Amino acid sequence: MVTDDIIKVENLSFSFGQQKVLNNISLNVPKGSVYGFLGPNGSGKTTTIKLLLNLLQNHENNIFLFGKEIKANREDVLKKVGSLIEGPALYHHLSGFDNLKARAIILGINNERINDILSIVGLTDAAKKKAGKYSLGMKQRLGIGLALLSDPELLILDEPTNGLDPNGIIEIRNLIKKLSIEHQKTIFISSHLLAEIERIATHVGILYQGNLSFEGKIEDLQSLAKSTLCVDTDDNLKAATILNINYEVLKDDKRLRIPYESPEQAAAINKLLIQNDISVYNLFKEKKDLESLFLDITQTV
């Protein structure tokens, strides 16, 4: 298949027994992107990731990595992928360095590369410490280091910030940015937290109950967030009654909100209120934040 997408999935469905977990989802992950795969718990993210890595059996030929169907090209394709799913498998009695060394021996990778990896994931100073004594954030970073050993083009990370404290989250976020910008990795990262993804992703796919309810650039998602005109007056009840005649006044206990259309609409509303002897304290345009948009998208499927 000729495609610039590092991951391409076409109408993928999957069931565990009678339970349908994925319903006809299609994904397009461009080269060089940080693709945030968002969805609430249980929406099917881990299942999708396991299918992408050929860890669950898929009877269709509809998953392509690097333009190649994965089942027919399993080895060829998967050697270019590093992944971290459901927490890293570490030897707790071994140091960070030796954990990497154990994997490096199998892959035929030298100590210089191990030291590079430790530096990339910020564990140089803790290299000799036992992994069992690492914080959760350090363990996750070591797990990402293991995934990076073979210098994969694509990194697939399943909820890498799950359970981390704010510092741990920031460290992982910075690491992902670095891997994307300085090391040109394509990164597919799942999360149930929009705020997390919003800060690092270039592209977003939103999964809800096994359906892909949005896919696009992060800017496309942001532009979907509709603006409202917020109005504060000395008599909101009276103002709402007047505005209701010509406008849709949205329900809000604190202030009046009207779907924003144009600067002229804002001026007309202002004029109308003043003509009716209502003092206008505030009148401004507010863009819906992505968090509420995410809730909208996942509640209206």
DSSP 196-216: HHHHH-SEEEEEETTEEEEEE
Closer to ligand ATP by CB, 16 or 182: give it.
Answer: 16
Closer to ligand ATP by CB, 29 or 256: give it.
Answer: 29
Shortest reach from residue 48's CB to ligand ATP, in Å: 7
Shortest reach from residue 38's CB to ligand ATP, in Å: 10
**Which residues of this protein are in contact with ligand ATP, per CB under 6 A?**
16, 21, 39, 41-47, 159, 192
Shortest reach from residue 184's CB to ligand ATP, in Å: 27
H or E element at residue 21: strand 19-30
Closer to ligand ATP by CB, 192 or 288: give it.
Answer: 192
The burial of 131, by beta-carbon neighbours within 10 Å (0-12 exposed, 13-18 middle, 19 or more buried), is given as buried
The length of the chain, given as a count of residues: 301
Shortest reach from residue 179's CB to ligand ATP, in Å: 22
Closer to ligand ATP by CB, 41 or 262: give it.
Answer: 41
Closer to ligand ATP by CB, 86 or 286: give it.
Answer: 86
Shortest reach from residue 12's CB to ligand ATP, in Å: 13
102, 9, 105, 111: which is closest to 50 by C-alpha? 9
Query: How far is it, in rounded angstroms, from Cα 31 to Cα 40?
Result: 26
H or E element at residue 228: strand 227-233
